[in-house]
Amino acid sequence: MTAGNLNDCVAGYEILNSLELEGKNVLADRGYDTDKILDLLADKRANAVIPSRKHRIVQRKTDWWLFKERHLVECLFNKLKHNRRLATRYDKLSCTFVAFLKLASSIIWLN
């Protein structure tokens, strides 16, 4: 859980920095196309499957077939948003929001 005004790539860098990624593919959308994240993935010897932002002068090549696997994660988010409580974030405390998120994810997994 992060604050609403915090950019995803800031929290994404911290999460990626804490993981063991050697030899793995990291799939992310264009919002994570920062030099800091790409350098981190290169240092950890991970394959960055992140499309280049439109404003980049030199566009990197992207494995679009592998990038399509990200669709599975987007489908999970879509299923989670069917719960009105998650979609509108009625919970005031982050601990109750995360608890219901885990419960809803478990129910989806069991179905």
pLDDT digits (tens, 9 = 90+) for 43-93: 999 999 999 989 889 898 988 999 898 888 889 989 998 888 888 888 888
Cα-flanking dihedrals φ and ψ of residue 89, to 5°?
55, 55
pLDDT at res. 7: 77
Summarize pLDDT for 31-47 with one digit per residue, the tens.
Answer: 889 899 999 999 999 99
Q: Which burial class, exposed, middle or buried, applies to 14 when counting CB atoms under 10 A from its CB (0-12, 13-18, 19+)?
A: exposed
Q: Ramachandran region of residue 45, left (φ > 0), alpha (ψ -120 to 50) or beta?
A: left
pTM: 0.74
pLDDT at res. 10: 82
Structure token pair of residue 101: 């998120």
